[in-house]
Copies of this chain bind each other. A is one copy, B any other.
């Protein structure tokens, strides 16, 4: 991230936080995790991960050992709904009125 100039950093993080906001509102998780790892190939990407108290790895990171073997029901959200909510979040003016 520190290879980017401040303006580029802010733009990227605004998208990350918009995704976080949309995922929170549509999936109502107990917690959000954010992570920029990407070790294999030099590049930048962000994980925006909803977490639930009863998910397989909670409270550990999703990359650790599973804590339980359950698959509780989660909100089902269509790609269209997700796309619309994200568009609205990223460009609220265009969707007002």
Contacts and interface: CB of A to CB of B under 8 A. Distances in A.
A34 B39 CA distance: 11
Contacts of A61: 35, 37, 39, 61, 63
Copies of the protein in its oligomer:
2
A9 B13 contact: yes
B33 A36 contact: yes
Contacts of A39: 31, 33, 51, 58-61
A82 interface: no
A43 to B, nearest CB: 10
Interface of A: 1-2, 9-10, 13, 16-17, 20-21, 24, 31-40, 42, 51, 58-61, 63-64
